[in-house]
Amino acid sequence: MSKVIDFQTDPSKYRHWKVEYDGPVATVYMDVDENAGLFDGYQLKLNSYDLGVDIELSDVVQRMRFEHPEVKTVVMKSAKDKVFCAGANIRMLGGAAHSHKVNFCKFTNETRNTFEAAEADSGQKWIAAVKGACAGGGYELALACNYIMLTDDSTSSVALPEVPLLAVLPGTGGLTRVTDKRKVRRDRADIFCSIEEGVKGKRAKDWRLVDEVVPNSKFDETVDERAREFAAASTKPVADKGIALGPLNRTIDDKGVHYDLVEVEIDRDGRKATITISGPDADAPASIDDVVAAGDQGYMLKLARELDDAIMHLRLNEMELGLWVFRTQGDPEQVKAHEDLLLANDDNWLANEILMFWKRVLKRIDVTSRSLTALVEHGSCYAGVLAEILFAVDRSYMMEDEFEGDNRPIATITLSDSNFGRYPMGNDLTRLETRFYGEPDSVDAAKAKIGEALEAEEADDLGLVTMILDDIDWDDEIRIFMEERASFSPDAMTGMEANLRFAGPETMETRIFGRLTAWQNWIFNRPNAVGADGALQRYGTGVRGEYNMERV
């Protein structure tokens, strides 16, 4: 088996990032160890990055939200001289498998989206303080920040040189953020994305590529002033102390991945992974103070962390498991009670962060390129946030009536207020609004049933599941579906599912995960980029790539 990529880390293991905390302001320094690549065969020179660098950054972002809730402004800087970040490592991209490249881009997108959304979700604003060359993925790091400051000197610039240099696209939303977020005029964007040298100083500000240009002699002082100003204006709730995120209790073996609340069973012959989520083993805490006291062992946070890790493990380490099957077992009333306590106290910093974390975990499911299905069996606990999984998957099957020899409680689905706005998809609609796109009456009908334990026939009438099956048909219908799904072309399935999952309006996020991913997927297969004489292979040799000039 190839090297297992582990998404769990902590500050004691960081090789590429340093963080300093000063009251409401934190400074994140990018200081990539060029000899600490995730794989052999390349050096991470000039603050270039690979997946290992981004795994650490993801941990920085997540840990800061939970362990340092006092932070209201985050400044991202380079710890190296004359370079902010050179972007994704070209040697890594040139040598990596196609599937790794695409999954790497997806994970880096998700990490950037997390700190980009921190201001709206948590009142925490990120500033990119750019000194030196800021190119490609380096500028994409800056673009995901809420505010970009550029020093005005001869060596500092911002650039997206992927098209002229590498024959690929900026892989983490650069083109989209330039037009949709920075609102750069399209002809200027065309120039910017076609030149290698980038844009400096006043022109970068005039073209809205950055927010502020500061003389080099005053740069550090001005960045600190701006960070303090933003912190003073933040609406983030006051919190003096966070909670520690300890290591997950996790075991990986040939049969799957095992956590306290999540069990992943692997069936390699059937090319599927079954993800079983357990409900709480105790009643909900009496108060939000008890949630804070429970720290990272509280049910809602612990489950989100385990499920998030399981998703990432399966994405990067088990790419031939094309079908994921979600199951739940537990008391739906207990699940709903645990979530309801957070919803009733969402002005509490920790309650808010847990709910925002669940929003991110559910979005990970939405954009995962696997066939997704859910089984609503007897004894299941699809309530509130866990019911969202039913509306994220491609198909769902529910047990109808009693099954012979099955003494578990009858299968039900319980909706809560959270299913109607708390966890929007990337298209800014709820999963139910997306499911019933063009059918607002169906959403209203479901909303009228909040809090009710809906059995199969009523869930089917409301359109909440794909199919209900009795004891006679259950095993055969499920088996036939799974065998059929596993026999289809993974490429066709990925394209079909990604097209069907996001109905309705296009947003910056759907463009990044839909349109960009599709184009990048195609471009990463083309010889102009990855062929023996392609730009990625010839980069740094002084010889440009050899292109097939046919327009496709």
- 118-169 per-position pLDDT tens digit: 999 999 999 999 999 999 999 999 999 999 999 999 999 999 999 999 999 9
**Is the Cβ–Cβ distance between 182 and 158 less than 8 Å?**
no
Using CA atoms, how far residue 281 sits from 337, 386, 484, in Å, is 12, 16, 36
CATH superfamily, domain 13-233, is 2-enoyl-CoA Hydratase; Chain A, domain 1 (3.90.226.10)
Q: Residue range 65-88: average pLDDT?
A: 97
pLDDT value, residue 3:
82
CATH domain 251-495 topology = 2-enoyl-CoA Hydratase; Chain A, domain 1 (3.90.226)
The more confidently predicted of residues 257 and 173 is: 257
pLDDT value, residue 171:
85
Read off the amino acid at residue 121: D
Q: What is the DSSP string of 167-225?
A: SS--TTSHHHIIIIIS---HHHHHHHTT-SS-B-HHHHHHTTSSSEEEEGGGHHHHHHH
Read off the amino acid at residue 527: P
Q: Residue range 196-222: average pLDDT?
A: 97
**Is the Cβ–Cβ distance between 208 and 202 less than 8 Å?**
no
Considering Cα of 336, then 337, then 338, then 342, what sign does the dihedral take?
Answer: positive
pLDDT value, residue 498:
86
Residues linked to residue 257 through DSSP beta bridges, in sequence order? 252, 264
How remote is the C-alpha of 282 from its chain's centroid? Answer: 30
* pLDDT of residue 514 exceeding 90: no
Backbone phi and psi for residue 126, each to the nearest 5 degrees, phi listed first? -105, 135
Look at strands 272-278 and 157-159 and give their pairing.
unpaired
pLDDT value, residue 466:
98
What percentage of the chain exceeds 70 in pLDDT? 100
Using CA atoms, how far residue 84 sits from 7, 28, 93, 160, in Å, is 25, 12, 20, 14
pLDDT value, residue 1:
40
Structure tokens at 410: 């009858």
- 27-66 per-position pLDDT tens digit: 999 999 999 999 999 999 999 999 999 999 999 999 999 9
Residues linked to residue 128 through DSSP beta bridges, in sequence order? 76, 148
The region, left, alpha or beta by phi > 0 then psi within -120 to 50, assigned to residue 384 is: left
Closest by CA position to 312, among listed 250, 373, 269, 355: 250
At residue 386 the predicted structure's pLDDT band, cuts being 50, 70 and 90, is very high
How remote is the C-alpha of 105 from its chain's centroid? Answer: 11
Please list, in sequence order, all residues whose beta carbon lies within 8 angstroms of the beta carbon of residue 41, skipping any fewer than 6 positions away.
91, 92, 95
- 423-476 per-position pLDDT tens digit: 999 999 999 999 999 999 999 999 999 999 999 999 999 999 999 999 999 999
CA distance 248 to 305: 8
How remote is the C-alpha of 512 from its chain's centroid? Answer: 12
Residue ranges, comma separated, of all CATH 3.90.226.10 domains in the chain are 13-233, 251-495
Report which DSSP code applies to 381. -
CA distance 538 to 540: 6
* pLDDT of residue 2 exceeding 70: no
Q: Count of alpha carbons within 13 Å of 311, Cβ hemisphere only? A: 25
* pLDDT of residue 241 exceeding 50: yes
* pLDDT of residue 230 exceeding 80: yes
Report the chain's mean pLDDT, rounded to a whole number.
95
